[in-house]
Amino acid sequence: MGIAGFMALCTWMLFQLVGIPGILDPITTDLYSTRTELLRTIGYGCFFFVSVRLLSSQKRIEIVLYLVVLLGMLEALSGSVQQLLFELARARGSFPNPNHSAGFLEVTLAISIGLILAQQGDRKVSSNPVIEFITGPRGRLRLIIIIMVIGLVMSRSRMGNIGFLTSILISSGIAFYYSKKYPKAPSR
């Protein structure tokens, strides 16, 4: 059903663009925009198809998620360094608009927090838990999250910061609600 719907959408956009040669003229009022949107729709469809085909195992998905988190960390570092070196009002990284940078950092922060939660059950016995807390895989993710939060704050995007705070509060509330282990009150 999904491929049929996608093909129907592309066919309709193509019909708007060229009509039926010799019978019906194109029905679009803006040929360039219609052509651009048709090519964009085909590109997004191809990207989705390739993603579904290539991300077929859990290991591949995990690699892509770690790459996105790494890109978020580099974006945060880039924006922070730019703001500090060039005395910009707001950190923007590789984006022309600081709000877009903040939106990207929000997405990568959500992914990195999800990766930490996914590793929650993977506990390895270590000789020194403090060293493991800092240098283990979750420790590295914590450090990356700290860097990205600093980059998000330095972007000074009001909605970026409010959106991130709101998502943390909502997901924390859901996690506490569905948690099987309730903390016990200290006895006196």
Q: Tell me: the pLDDT tens digits for 164-182? A: 999 889 888 887 887 766 5
Around Cβ 37, how many Cβ atoms within 10 Å? 15
Based on the domain organization, do 68 and 159 belong to the same domain? yes
Evaluate whether residue 184 is within a structural domain. no
**Number of domains into which the chain is organized:** 2
Containing structural domain, residue 12 = 2-54
Q: Give residue 188's pLDDT.
A: 64
Residues 103-154 pLDDT 10s: 999 999 999 988 888 887 666 656 677 777 677 778 889 999 999 999 999 9
113 and 50 assigned to the same domain: no
Whether residue 68 is found in the same domain as residue 26 = no
Can you give the pLDDT at residue 45?
Answer: 92
Same domain, 71 and 156: yes
* 19 lies in the same domain as 92: no
